[in-house]
Amino acid sequence: MKTKILIIYTGGTIGMVLDNKTNTLVPFDFEHLYKQVPEVEKFDLELSVKSFDKPIDSSDMTIDAWQKLAAIIDDNYQLYDGFVILHGTDTMAYTAAALSFMLENLGKPVILTGSQLPIGMIRTDGKENLITAIEIAAAKNHGTPVINEVAIYFEYKLYRGNRTHKYNAEHFDAFKSPNYPILAEAGINIEYNYPCLMPKPSGELKLRLDMDGNIGVLKLFPGITPAVVSSVLHSNGLKALIIETFGSGNVTTQEWFLNEIENAVSQRNLVVLNVTQCNQGAVNQGRYATSKGLLKAGVIGGSDITFEAAVTKLMYLFGNFSNIDEIKTNLSKNLRGEITAA
């Protein structure tokens, strides 16, 4: 029996072609994939394509769209051996992280890819990205999938989805996974980094559709005013706050600031997560005097989590757990390979 792959087109540059009449980029009908990328017909695979009714620029991504995507994978889980999601690059890392939390016990590959140049353009990076993403989604070892997780394939590299960050708006090489090794590299062969891949889960796939968007972010800078800090901390409906801190998780030691944070945690049960502004490395609360105050205030250290994974992990935890202590415990745990922790 042929290996079956489902390609889901959500939108983004990869699916665009130049409309000669209007001279603008318009989404092409992905049902006619073979016309645009005839190479994929040569695969000895059974490929099916599903497209969002209205393809979106990924900057318009929503929790609703993530739920739709996760539900498509769940509905088709038994029918296909792997999934390829075509997605705009701008929020691809958020979608990959969100899906990693929404698809608990994932035992098949879910590979996101896209491109910097539309597939209808001569110099497009989209064809290679799509063709190799399909090959990775179909890869098996003794009959079982090589990849058991949500990953991003881009410009010859496969990254763990919830470790990835878009760091370049121009280059073909647009993504990085600064705190986790790449999962595979495509050259003449696709070389998998086996020790770093997610093992096959023991349980059945569990769909975790609920995501709570009441998450706030406070990015610190020297000179930030008490009024700004206070307005973020008192936002309507706020359940969790990510503080983007300096270096290994450091903040100002000014009393007004630490009091605001301490009150929010102890009196209003706000969950506060410390994530570094640095692109690489981890938060280590207590290492410097400038982070001891946060530790004392009950702020949780985010370890080496990306901002994208921090946002979606909090959405997932507040969507699926009601007990604050349970949420805090899970926040410090490595749930889907998103942090280096016990």
Considering the rule CB under 6 A, would residue 128 count as an interface residue with ligand ASP?
A: no
Considering the rule CB under 6 A, would residue 12 count as an interface residue with ligand ASP?
A: yes
CA distance linking residue 16 with residue 118, whole number of Å: 5
Q: What is the distance of C-alpha 329 from the center of its chain?
A: 21
Site string for ligand ASP, 108-127 (x = CB under 6 A): ------x-------------
How buried is 126 (Cβ within 10 angstroms: 0-12 exposed, 13-18 middle, 19+ buried)? buried
Considering the rule CB under 6 A, would residue 104 count as an interface residue with ligand ASP?
A: no
Considering the rule CB under 6 A, would residue 161 count as an interface residue with ligand ASP?
A: no
Question: Minimum distance from CB of 306 to ligand ASP (Å)?
Answer: 17
Site string for ligand ASP, 59-78 (x = CB under 6 A): x-------------------
CB 101 within 8 A of CB 313: yes
CA distance linking residue 183 with residue 156, whole number of Å: 11
Beta strand residue intervals within 36-176, DSSP E: 45-51, 82-86, 103-104, 110-113, 140-141, 144-145, 150-154, 157-160, 165-166, 175-176
CB 324 within 8 A of CB 107: no
Residue nearest to ligand ASP (CB): 88
Integer-rounded Cα radius of gyration of the chain: 21
Question: Minimum distance from CB of 267 to ligand ASP (Å)?
Answer: 40
Site string for ligand ASP, 23-62 (x = CB under 6 A): ----------------------------------xxx---
Residues known to be catalytic: 13
Question: Minimum distance from CB of 331 to ligand ASP (Å)?
Answer: 28
Using the rule CB under 6 A, which residue among 3, 89, 164, 250 binds ligand ASP? 89
Question: Minimum distance from CB of 60 to ligand ASP (Å)?
Answer: 8
Count, residues in the chain = 342
Interface residues with ligand ASP (CB under 6 A)?
12-13, 57-59, 88-90, 114
